[in-house]
Every structure is written in structure tokens, then in C-alpha cells.
Chain A
């Protein structure tokens, strides 16, 4: 984790270099496509303007993730404990993934308002499924020999869950959570596009309308940084909890 991924770093540098060179050589106007150096500069210089919006979006993502985690865990446990319930719930889970979130966004804004609630809900819809499914798969992947050991010990379902299934599923749960924190931002930003008074999505729409493309890119940079930060934090959390791997 601590070692720099050299090939990726080279690739990123190459892409940014070509972009920078092309924009400068072809003299593309800043309001069409700014060079990367300009974007970084704007993202830093305009930080005081962008930061309040970033805080709102970050809070929406965190709440979306939080709600997704606290709802996905009980549902995964219930579906694992009762296969009949899994059968009953799984079509809904799949359907929740098939719904285009973009299509829901305007409705959610109508129902839940222009505040944070509609954005949190959007983030929740998107990431609930990967977390729930990966946890359920984690429970199911438990080695039958260990299950048998617990049966021989006469362990109750609850004891087996806390001592065996839960730790067994943790690596998968974190894999799902990492996917979740990566895409949660999408839900929040779409919600903000449709209707908001604050947040990076709102800031992007506003800047776009004023042809301040460099600010749009700066906001995207901030979003990306937030996504990476969350992803990294999840990895740190995982390392501290799943020590035995």
C-alpha cells in the first residue's frame, strides 16, 4: 500500500503531459478545455470558494455510506439466516440496481426537497446494493468445515455469526465498501445537479452556465480527491480490523 504504483504514476504523468502540450500548442481557449496545470492552480486558488460546497457534498457522501452500511448489514444477516427471505428480497435488490438513478433524481428532489436528504438518499440507493451483496457473499463463502466445527460445539446462530461468519465475511464487506465509497459521490452530485443550493454538483452547474470551465474541472478535481481520500480511509480501517490477512 505504501509503495508508489510506478506504472500508474507514469501513465498519469503521460496523459497529463499530452493534455497540457496539446492544449497549449493548439491554443485551445480556457473556457473550452483548460490545461491540467491551470486546473490544479484554480482548484488551489479558488479553494476558499469551493471548500464550503465540498463540505456539503462530503457530508452527503458520508451520510449515504453510513446509512447504506447500517441498513445493508442487518438485511444481509437476515437474508443469510433465512434463505426464503433472501429469495423474497433479491428481486428488489436487483431491481434497485436496474433503476437509472438519473431518472429518480428529479422525483427525489420533489419528494425530499432541495436540501441534503435527497442527495443522501441517492448515494444510499447506489451503494446499498454492493455492500449488502458482498457481505452476503462473504457469509456464504464460509468454509463448511468451520461451520461444522461450530455445529459440533453446539453454537447458536448468533454465536456462530459473531465468532465465525462476521469475521469471515469482513474482507468481502470491505471490498464492497470500497466500491461503495467510490461511487457514492455519483449519487450525491447527480442529486445536486437536479436541484440544490449547495454542494460541488451545484457549484459545477453554476460555473458551467457562466462558461467557467476551469472551475468545473477544479470541482471535479476536488470530487476525485474526496473519493480517493474515502477509499484510502476505508483501506486503513480494513487494515486495522482485518489484521489476520
Chain B
């Protein structure tokens, strides 16, 4: 569905990634893992047109296009909730700005609030709730974009293990039930193994795909599955190898 062909981005001579290739298959769950600061957020920013890419091209269903702005919903690492709106109104922003039917949007947002354990907090303001709740609210807002492709930058990083588990199941539901295509960044290997159809292991400076795993295993998965443990061991080995080669 989306093809990323040898894209390059540098800031003031500092190359973040060069000649990076990615293929995003329709309806699949892609997870990116890489060391902190390797450029994962920068990649998503570049794809969605937050800033222009230096080189390379993007193909959407075979057609070249500038950026994903009109095709994808992007949940950034920061929650970016507006302090003057309640959580519900923050979640309704995409509906308000794109002229969706507000009644239907409101119902949908309320259902999502219920699903994500935000029920009862609709009229709270962002500074009155915890970081995890803000993140869940940002996730609802992202789902309210009504787009087929969803880019998630560490969507669950501010959550405790239990909430995280239940939201991971919800993310799976996005794929299986709502037929969304997902591109997600995480630091959590277990999470990647639990969710992903494909894992891109990234290395730093400049960022490149050091390994690409395709996990065609049924979900929900058992973390003791020998295939998964083998992949996990392999990933850890690669990540540690990367760290040791890190210059200065």
C-alpha cells in the first residue's frame, strides 16, 4: 500500500537516515524498534510531511505523492493535547476540523473513551489527568482521523503494564476488526513480538534497517512460543552489538 524508496533526511549536515527503503503492506502491523535517538520519530515526521524529505520518493498504491498528510493518522510521541479543551473535545478535534457529522463523531469518541478506560473523564482537562490518560486520549484522537493507515510513535510508553496489556489488545483489534494498517514505534521487544506482523530493527547514525523479521504467527500470541523466543534472542544480540559499536 505504501512504498518508501530511498529517502534521505539530514539536519545541518547531520544525516539522520539515507537511502532508507520500507514497504508497508495493506492491513499489516509493522513495528519499528531501535535505539533512542536513532531517528524513528524523524522518519515518521518526514513521512507525514511535518518537514520535507531531502531525497527519495513515496508511492501510495503505486502512485507517487508528497507526504502522508491526507492518507495517515499520526500519533506523535508528545500527546499535544490542547489545555483549553476537555479530553472529549480534544479527541473530537479531527472531527471538528474535517467537518464530520458531530453527532456520530461524538458517539464514536464516547465509545472509544469507554474502551480505553477514560469513561467519566470526558469533561476533565488535560492538566487534571495522568500522563497515561493523556496518551490514551491522544490515541482516541488519532483514531478519530478516520484514516486507513495509522502511525503510532510510542503510543503506550507512559502506561503501566496492566493498562498496556489491555491497550495492546485494542491495537490488535484495530488491525483485525477495523482493518487498519499500522506502523508503530516502540522500545518494548515483548510488545513488538506480541503485535507485529513485521518488525524492522533499526540501527543508529545514520538510521538503517539492520534486520527485518516477518512473523506470520497467529494472534494472540504466546510469548513462550519458541519462534518468538528465538527472534527475541536474535534482536537482543543485534541491539547490543549496535550499542557496542556506538562511537564515543
Chain A residues near B (Cβ < 8 Å): 145-146, 148-156, 159-160, 163-164, 167, 243-244
Contact = CB atoms under 8 A, between A and B. Distances in A.
25 contacts: A145-B76, A145-B80, A146-B82, A148-B50, A149-B76, A149-B80, A151-B69, A152-B49, A152-B50, A152-B73, A152-B74, A153-B93, A153-B98, A154-B97, A155-B98, A156-B97, A159-B97, A163-B82, A163-B93, A163-B97, A164-B82, A167-B84, A243-B84, A244-B83, A244-B125
Contacts of B113: none
Given A146-B82, A244-B127, A154 B76 contact: no
Contact of B97 (A145, A146, A153, A167): A153
Contacts of A163: 82, 93, 96-97
A154 B97 CA distance: 7
Nearest to B78: A145
Interface string B211-226: 0000000000000000
A152 B69 contact: yes
Contacts of A145: 76, 78, 80
Contact of B48 (A152, A160, A164): A152
Contacts of A150: 97
A163 B82 CA distance: 9
Given A145-B76, A149-B76, A163-B96, A154 B82 contact: no
Nearest to B125: A244
Nearest to A166: B84
A230 to B, nearest CB: 25
Contacts of B76: 145, 149
Interface residues of B, number: 21
Nearest to A162: B96
Nearest to A154: B98
A153 B125 contact: no
B70 interface: yes
B145 interface: yes
A149 B50 CA distance: 9
Contacts of B49: 151-152
Contact of B94 (A153, A160, A164): A153
Interface of B: 48-50, 69-70, 73-74, 76, 78, 80, 82-84, 93-94, 96-98, 125, 127, 145
A159 B100 CA distance: 13
Contacts of B50: 148, 152
A244 B80 contact: no
Contacts of B98: 153-155
Given A145-B78, A149-B76, A244 B84 contact: yes
A167 B98 CA distance: 19
Chain A CB within 10 Å, residue with most, of B74, B76, B93, B125? B93
B48, B80, B125, B145, most chain A CB atoms within 10 A: B80
Given A159-B97, A163-B97, A244-B125, A153 B82 contact: no
A72 to B, nearest CB: 21
Contacts of A148: 50
B93 to A, nearest CB: 6
A33 to B, nearest CB: 51
Nearest to B89: A163
A164 B89 CA distance: 13
Contacts of B93: 153, 163
A159 B96 contact: yes
Given A149-B80, A244-B84, 17 more contacts: A145-B78, A146-B82, A149-B76, A151-B49, A152-B50, A152-B69, A152-B74, A153-B93, A153-B94, A153-B98, A153-B145, A154-B98, A159-B96, A159-B97, A163-B96, A164-B82, A244-B125
Contacts of A156: 97
A155 B98 CA distance: 6
Most buried by A among B74, B83, B94, B97: B97
Contacts of A155: 97-98
Nearest to A244: B83
B80 A154 contact: no
A128 to B, nearest CB: 26
Contacts of B125: 244
Contacts of A167: 82, 84
A159 B96 CA distance: 8
Contacts of A243: 84
Contacts of A154: 69-70, 97-98
